[in-house]
């Protein structure tokens, strides 16, 4: 049984804007699945529906056997969501922020104090930030430093599903490389399933087991990066996407 099943998702916003037009796919445990498409293709709407922050107009989302539309509270206990917008509590230090979000997430799952402490220690390690940096208030942090905190806690609590919207946005080349390595490693070694979006096609090609090409609220093609590149006779995933749009994505 797939860990995540998305069936016929439709989302129509007020005014008749169709953000999603019947999107379906499934994810296996430990899989890294990427959503690729331009702004307005429906990626963020899709992630927010799976994260239970939006309700679909029609369709189903089943996460680990739980109907996420009908039982959003139960679904949230199984997932962690990192939005593209970098937030955080400006007056908290980085360490205080990690302690707060890790503690809140794991307490809701009934974790012991020891489990919370171990997850916090792991989150600190995953940030790649020094203790001095973590002791600074978040109002002093760059976008990249905040992004590191968010992805670190989302992985450290070991959710059944980690939803990452543009996970390396704002990171420099070295930090982005390290974070991609961490995401891939967690999926493999801890069975954390990852649903992510990215405009960085190199990142998607490196990280993802499978990719969904999106355009105008629809999935126009899907497969492993290697399959998609071969299908369109492309040199890389970017060329494959552009070919898919030319062939299938005009509507």
Per-residue pLDDT tens digits for 194-242:
999 998 898 899 899 999 999 999 999 999 999 999 999 999 999 999 9
Sequence-separated (6 or more) residues with CB below 8 Å from residue 186:
155, 158, 162, 192, 194
Q: Where are the domains of the chain?
A: 1-78+159-251, 88-158
pTM: 0.93
What's residue 219's pLDDT?
96
**Bridge partners, 5 (sequence order):** 26, 62
Q: What pLDDT shows up at residue 109? A: 87
For range 99-110, the mean pLDDT:
92
CATH 3.40.50.300 fits 1-78+159-251, yes or no: yes
Tokens of 199: 């405009």
């Amino acid at each position: 049984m797939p860990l995540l099943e998305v069936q016929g998702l439709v989302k129509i916003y007020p005014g008749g804007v169709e953000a999603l037009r019947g999107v379906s796919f499934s994810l296996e445990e430990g899989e890294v699945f990427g959503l690729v498409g331009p702004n307005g293709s429906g990626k963020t709407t899709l992630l927010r529906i799976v994260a239970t922050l939006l309700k679909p107009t029609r369709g189903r989302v089943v996460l680990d056997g739980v109907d996420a539309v009908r039982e959003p509270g139960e679904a949230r206990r199984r997932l962690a969501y990192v939005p593209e917008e970098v937030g955080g509590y400006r007056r908290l230090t980085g360490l205080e922020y990690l302690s707060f979000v890790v503690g809140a997430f794991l307490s809701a799952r009934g974790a012991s104090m020891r489990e919370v402490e171990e997850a916090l220690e792991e989150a600190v390690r995953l940030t790649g930030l020094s203790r001095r940096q973590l002791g600074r208030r978040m109002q002093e942090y760059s976008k990249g430093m905040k992004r590191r905190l968010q992805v670190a806690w989302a992985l450290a609590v070991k959710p059944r599903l980690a939803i990452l919207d543009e996970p390396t946005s704002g990171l420099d080349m070295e930090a982005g490389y390290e974070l991609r390595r961490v995401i891939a490693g967690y999926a493999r070694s801890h069975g954390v399933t990852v649903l992510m979006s990215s405009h960085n096609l190199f990142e998607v090609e490196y990280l993802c087991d499978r990719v969904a090409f999106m355009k105008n609220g629809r999935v126009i093609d899907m497969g492993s990066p290697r399959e998609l590149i071969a299908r369109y006779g492309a040199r890389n995933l970017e060329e494959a996407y552009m070919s898919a749009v030319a062939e299938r994505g005009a509507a």
